[in-house]
Amino acid sequence: MTICSISIPLQQGRPVISLERDASVMFKRNAHSALTHFSGPGFHLLAWGDPAHCDQDAEIRGNCRRGLFKPYWGRSWIYVDRERNEVAGCTDRLGLFPILYCHRSSQLTVTSDRGVMLELLGDEAQINPQAMLDLLAFGQVMDEQSIMRGVTQLRASRCFHFSSDGQLQLRDFPPYRLQKVRCATLNEAVDAFVGAVDKCFQSSPRVAVSLSGGLDSRLILAAALKLGHKPVAFSYGCPDSADMRIARDIAESHGLPFFAGDMRGSDRWTSMKRIALRGGCEVPVQHGHALADETLLDQTRGFTVITGTGAETFRAFYYDRGAPGYSLMAVDRLASRLLPYARRYIREEFGKLANPVIRAFPELGGRLEARFQMMLDRYHDCETDAADLMDNVYLAERVGRMVVSGQQLLDNDYERCHPFLHPNVLETLGALPVRLRLGSLFHRKAIAKLSPSLASVDWDKTGRPLRSGLRWRERYPGLAARLGRQPCWGKASSGVFDYTAWLDLDNVEPMRASLLQEGLSEGDFKRGVDALLTDASALHVRGLNMVLGYLNSGRRSAEGGL
């Protein structure tokens, strides 16, 4: 649990730094926090992030004292220098631990947490219409804006420097790019992942794994068991869901301490408010499983959670769709010719939410297309290989903003480690042949290799033991759909929790003003909303509006504030 923030008063636009005023440098941590706080005559340095990478903190301190500001792997930092009267900071290489700042006339506020920024803004917090439209159409903000007007969320490898003369300078470092410069073997990738998981255990005495019916957490556990570690396990959802049943079976059969959260017993209004405020009103309710049950939070608070964040990069939307011929993307002579297909797959991924919005509000189609193209244009340097392009867009855009926003919900209660995003793991998994990604083949082979007993447990995608593999409709769902057969896209059973019981209200007032500011008439808005609420994306619309409602300061105050 690591949260830090710094508030610097400004006089005539220039910083006035007084380290005697301890309230200007605030942080929250537990006994095993991944936050490192260096302080000395005339300076403060806060470094936080993945505990498995905290061995870089001394280097960060030395470089900051010399005025050398740059990004590091898995560690973000904020530096306050009283001697030079300046503030600087930088996000980690992948943007997993964001920095947000708000530069107002009388104060510069910098924080690691969106919920803290919402609290510090208080009555000044307002919805950013462009960010709201991005969230509605794409499920994430597409640039460095925030749902809070006037707040910037620095992207990966981005440094800021607020100098003594009041100049705010931003500096970009070359973004991290996955490149298949060689072909890795299955054994190399498994060894790299096991090493990354071991580093997670070495970094904290209290480690937990959030189990589900999927494969990311199971692969983490397989590596842990191979190393001789037995972490605490927990899960959440309905007791009769496949995720909870499989998680419980795994924990019991392997002798793991297990905590279960039953979301059905939670007060939905209290839980939804907690999700809204912890996420700074940018994470829709249906993505807040980890915060839904307060009893589970009380039982597991303070642990370091090893997450599967980033694993999607190697089995994401374009791989699990499973169309025959995807392995051709690894053939050098075809890589550039397949780029149009890669762009189409990326467009289809972002279009899952965007297309219903464009149908509902055709007047916004051109603007949303421009936002999508702006994002895609950032990856011209990857357009030599179709698989590289898709991997890098997913890693930097989906993981770097949407997935990370959900992960930040954990930061009040847990530390988080990301072994799938360790540099050695990215390099080796990124260099695997594409055929090993189709149908989660790497995950399945690695689990069977590391822990055969875990390969005997059911997989939520099929409802059968993992070692039984995939049937053709599960391996090639795209082809099955084209042939008129029933495809198997996702889980074979019910999900973690049915949020329709919570989100049963059609209150869209929170997004109304923002859409009207975009030029829609009242009639256009009503017709469009009616269409969205009868579409498959209705749950997303309701979940987003529920959290946006808490950007209304009157509502926050009426319910007891933050």
Domain housing 337: 319-369
> Of the ranges 120-134, 463-477, 494-508, which is most confident?
120-134
Dist CA 96 CA 418 (whole Å): 9
Per-residue pLDDT band at 496 (split at 50, 70, 90): confident
Average pLDDT of the chain?
87
Can you give the pLDDT at residue 134?
97
pLDDT of res. 541: 94
Q: How far apart are CA 190 and CA 437, in angstroms?
A: 13
> What is the radius of gyration, based on Cα positions, of the chain?
23
Give CA–CA dist 412/434, Å, rounded: 38
Same domain, 33 and 134: yes
DSSP H helices, 403-532, are: 404-407, 423-430, 441-450, 452-455, 472-475, 477-482, 509-517, 522-532
Rounded alpha-carbon distances, angstroms, from residue 362 to 368, 376, 443:
10, 22, 41
Residue 285 sits in the same domain as residue 407:
yes
Q: pLDDT tens, 173-221?
A: 999 998 776 788 999 999 999 999 999 999 999 999 999 999 999 999 9
423 and 356, same domain (yes or no): no
Please report which residue ranges of 378-483 form alpha helices under DSSP H.
386-393, 404-407, 423-430, 441-450, 452-455, 472-475, 477-482
The most distant pair of C-alpha atoms in the chain lies apart, rounded to whole Å, by 72
**Is residue 230 pLDDT above 70, yes or no?**
yes
- The confidence score (pLDDT) of residue 31 equals 47
Do 138 and 29 lie in one domain? The reply is yes
Q: Is the pLDDT of residue 457 over 70?
A: yes
- Token readout for 243 is 């995720």
C-alpha distance across the termini of the chain, in Å: 18
Q: What is the rounded average pLDDT of the residues 239-247?
A: 89
Inter-CA distances, 121 with 87, 148, 196, Å: 20, 9, 38
| Report field, pTM of the whole predicted structure over 0.85 | yes
| pLDDT at 322 > cutoff 50 | no
Residue 301 located in a structural domain:
yes
CATH of the domain at 439: 3.40.50.620
325-377: per-residue pLDDT in tens? 555 565 666 666 778 888 888 898 899 999 999 999 999 999 999 999 999 99
Q: Which SS3 state, helix, strand or coil, does residue 417 take?
A: strand
255: left (phi over 0), alpha (psi -120 to 50) or beta: left
Domain boundary among 456, 482, 508: 482
**Whole-number pLDDT of residue 487:** 67
Rounded CA-CA distance 206/186 in Å is: 30
> In the prediction, which pLDDT does 146 show?
96
Dist. CA 446–CA 428, nearest whole Å: 13
Lowest mean pLDDT among 17-31, 141-155, 352-366, 475-489: 17-31
Amino acid at 314: F
Chosen domain end from 428, 453, 482: 482
Per the structure, the count of domains in the chain is: 4
Q: Is residue 29 within 8 Å of residue 2, measured between CB atoms?
A: yes
Residue 490 lies in a domain: no
Give yes or no for a contact between 74 and 92, defined as CB atoms under 8 angstroms apart. Answer: yes
